[in-house]
Chains A and B, each alone.
Chain A
């Protein structure tokens, strides 16, 4: 199974004629993702990498029955692109773009939520169900089909973890980068139940970082709701308070959001927290045998 995306996903790329959109559309097609088209206003009727370009998401939905979209448009227009996809009624929206103003995201987030649409990102690497479907910018070759789900606030750190798992022979069902912004479409708690329900996922890895209290809330949620083994990794122990560490959401303010508070919360919920990436991969291997 896997979650959210698989070989049946009918994906479009918003911003497919742009530099990033075009490059990654090709990469996704090469991986075997069922990419059925793209959208760039004013460029409808063209073809790129063998798929049709449409002027709007509505046109794309009607013409090629798209049910998911991945957004690569510049920050200035990205929230508008989310609104367009939500209004067109796509079921899944993945927004790669970074630098979207947070107030723009408040409105976009609530629209998606009210319509029952799953939004992943913004400012995220996307998601991949290895062997089935890749939606985003992650290097495909480090992944391996298998039975571990990964949810992470970071991009390259996720690659590092996946790489460590794959090197130990542990494959992944679906890996999701939820994004590094203060407001993201899906949090750990939105995605955990999907992995819990997925018959092809045996264990779940959460990769958190400083800032906010999502990890703390997630720890409580896991204690009550998740039966599958969960392992955690937290970064930002060495980060000073009051400084944004690259991700707009990664900032310690006051006593809240520190790496140690998150680690303690997971420990209290019975979720083992690894100190290093190698230790994390080994923990999962020991558990799954």
Chain B
């Protein structure tokens, strides 16, 4: 789960990581009022769940409250990578001397928690890593205790100034504490700045949570912003389905994530375009099938639906019952190609006999038939 910068900074504050003062605004008038409260120059920052806000013109500096109002009116409502800006964070501008990068995330390869640090902050870190990998410093821990010795070695290098080492070390320790206590998959400060007054502050913040751990953090779940997520994907999650909207016209219903991706690939390979990724999961509940059809059919682009089931835990007859139930309850006005294989395949196919469904023998047969109809 992703959260906004202002929410991340709220968490930073809770953990005593220094941040600039800021206030959230949803209208230009509010932005103006907040600037009057905060005093001095302020940054007006678009709050959307995507990177590249600065490049898109979603972050601007204002010298006066009137300018802040003007800039907020430009930023609110703008679209950044298809996300409409509904809120801006008005924050006291920092007097920046140096910018560094600090992040804590998971290294899949070594299965350890990794600290990623660089004196080259404020820019696209992937580009730095790509072009000048020597400028990225990393250290790892496999225990969930703060690796103080390794952190001490790096802390002074972030601003190339040993006098800042203690302050940086403190931020590292607190950010690690947040990571472990809140189960984040990414805790990032970019940039971590050194001000001309010698302060170290987190000027931007990005925190992503481990979805698997959210059940034990109900307070973090409250930070979820439904406006930033696809409504169909939210509905799917609530119903125990895994769904991702795509831009094609062949609706897909598959059991298992790998097979669902494999089915999408094959559709593409045969010249079609998948309308979605949908994993109905391992359960055999016919109700899930009805929900899945509802989700797929909510997309007006869908011209045909391909159901591809390889029954292991999932029983083909239950899927067939779900399909018949869907015909009774929903107005299905597109052809459905069905491929059932595995557990209780014969029982499933028998149930579907005499219906309008287009049966497919194999996965490639099913994909071919679906692509033909869609094109």
Cα–Cα distance between A109 and B244 once the two chains are bound (Å):
30
**B312 in contact with A75 (CB, 8 Å):** no
Q: What 1/0 mask marks residues of chain B from 181 to 212 whose CB sits below 8 Å from any chain A CB?
A: 00101000000000000000000000000111
Range, interface on chain B: 35 or more
A9 CB–B CB distance under 8 Å? no
Question: Is A245 within 8 A of B265, CB to CB?
Answer: no
B242: which A residues are within 8 A, CB to CB? 245-246
Main SS class of interface, A: loop
**Could you tell me the distance between the alpha carbons of A254 and B282 in the complex, rounded to whole angstroms?**
30
Decide yes or no whether A228 CB sits under 8 A from chain B: no
CA distance A189 to B40 in the complex (A): 57
> How far apart are B299's CB and chain A's nearest CB, in angstroms?
15
Assess the A243–B312 pair: CB atoms within 8 A: no
Which residues of A lie under 8 Å from residue B211 when comparing CB positions? 248
Say whether, besides A139-B311, A163-B310, A276-B364, A155 and B256 are in contact (CB < 8 Å).
yes
Given contacts A110-B142, A214-B109, A217-B109, contact A180 B258 (CB under 8 A): yes
Q: Pick from B6-14, B156-164, B266-274 the stretch touching chain A.
A: B266-274
Is B259 within 8 A of A160, CB to CB? yes
Q: How large is the interface on A (under 10, 10 to 19, 20 to 34, 35 or more residues)?
A: 35 or more
The answer to whether A103 touches B213, judged by C-beta atoms less than 8 angstroms apart, is yes
Main secondary structure of the interface of B (DSSP, over half): mixed
Nearest residue, chain A, Cβ from B256: A156
Contact of B259 among A100, A105, A109, A154 (CB under 8 A): A154
Given A106-B111, A152-B258, A163:B341 Cβ within 8 A: yes
Across-interface contacts of A248 in B (CB, < 8 A)? 211-212
In the assembled complex, the CB of A270 is this many whole angstroms from the nearest CB of chain B, namely 23
A239-B255 in contact (CB<8A): no
**Given the contacts A103-B210, A107-B144, A246-B277, A156 and B111 also touching, CB distance less than 8 Å:** no
Known: A110-B111, A238-B267. A102 touches B262 (CB 8 A): no
CA A65 to CA B297, docked complex, whole Å = 54
Q: How far is the CA of A239 from the CA of B343 in the complex (A)?
A: 28
Smallest Cβ distance from B242 to chain A, in angstroms? 4
Q: Which residues of A contact B363 (CB under 8 A)?
A: 160, 277
Q: Is A249 touching B256 in the complex (CB atoms < 8 A)?
A: no
A236 at the interface (CB under 8 A from B): yes
Please report the C-alpha to C-alpha distance between residue A104 and residue B144 in the assembled complex, in whole angstroms: 10
Q: State whether the Cβ of B126 lies closer than 8 Å to any Cβ in chain A.
A: yes
Give the CA-CA distance A103 to B143 in the complex, in Å: 10
- Determine if A99 is an interface residue (Cβ-Cβ < 8 Å): yes
Of the residues A139, A209, A244, A276, contact of B342 by C-beta under 8 Å: A139
Q: Is B253 an interface residue (CB 8 A)?
A: no
Known: A106-B142, A245-B244. A277 touches B212 (CB 8 A): no
Whether B258 lies near A238 (C-beta < 8 A) is no
The closest CB in chain A to the CB of B113 belongs to: A106
- Taking the closest CB of chain A, its distance from the CB of B341, in whole angstroms, is 7
| Residue B220 at the chain A interface, CB threshold 8 Å | no
B257 touches A180 (CB 8 A): yes
The yes or no answer to A205 lying at the interface (CB within 8 A) is no
Q: Which residues of B contact A209 (CB under 8 A)?
A: 257-258, 261
Kindly provide the distance from the CB of B338 to the nearest chain A CB, expressed in whole angstroms: 16
The chain B residue with its CB closest to the CB of A256 is B126
Which of chain A's residues have a CB closer than 8 A to the CB of B267?
A: 238
Enumerate chain B residues within 8 angstroms of A235, measured Cβ to Cβ: 258, 261-262, 265
Which residue of chain A lies nearest to B241 when distances are taken between CB atoms in the complex?
A246
What is the minimal beta-carbon distance from A238 to any residue of chain B, in angstroms? Answer: 4
Q: Which residues of A contact B266 (CB under 8 A)?
A: 276
Residue among A76, A100, A103, A209 having the largest count of chain B Cβ atoms under 10 Å: A103
Residues of the B chain whose Cβ atoms lie less than 8 Å from the Cβ of A76: 215-216
With contacts A106-B112, A160-B310, A239-B261 known, is A255 near B212, CB below 8 A? no
- The distance from the CB of B253 to the nearest CB of chain A, in whole angstroms, is 13
A95 within 8 A of B: no
Smallest CB separation, B347 vs chain A (Å): 14
A interface residue numbers (CB < 8 A to B): 75-76, 99-107, 109-110, 125, 137-139, 142, 152-160, 163, 180, 182-183, 207, 209-210, 212-214, 217, 235-240, 243-250, 254-255, 259, 275-278
Query: Ordered nearest first, which 8 A-B pairs have the shortest CB separation?
Result: A154-B258, A246-B257, A156-B256, A157-B258, A101-B213, A156-B259, A235-B261, A238-B264
Known interface pairs A103-B144, A217-B109, A237-B269; 5 further A-B residue pairs with C-beta atoms within 8 A, sorted by A's residue number: A157-B256, A157-B258, A237-B265, A245-B277, A246-B260
Q: Enumerate chain B interface residues (CB-CB to A < 8 A).
A: 106, 108-109, 111-113, 126, 142-144, 180, 183, 185, 210-213, 215-216, 242, 244, 246, 254-262, 264-269, 274, 277, 279, 282, 310-313, 341-343, 362-364
Task: Offer 21 A-B interface pairs, CB within 8 angstroms, sorted by A.
Answer: A101-B212, A102-B210, A103-B113, A110-B142, A110-B143, A154-B256, A154-B257, A180-B258, A182-B185, A183-B111, A214-B108, A235-B262, A238-B267, A239-B261, A243-B277, A245-B257, A246-B279, A247-B257, A248-B211, A259-B265, A278-B362
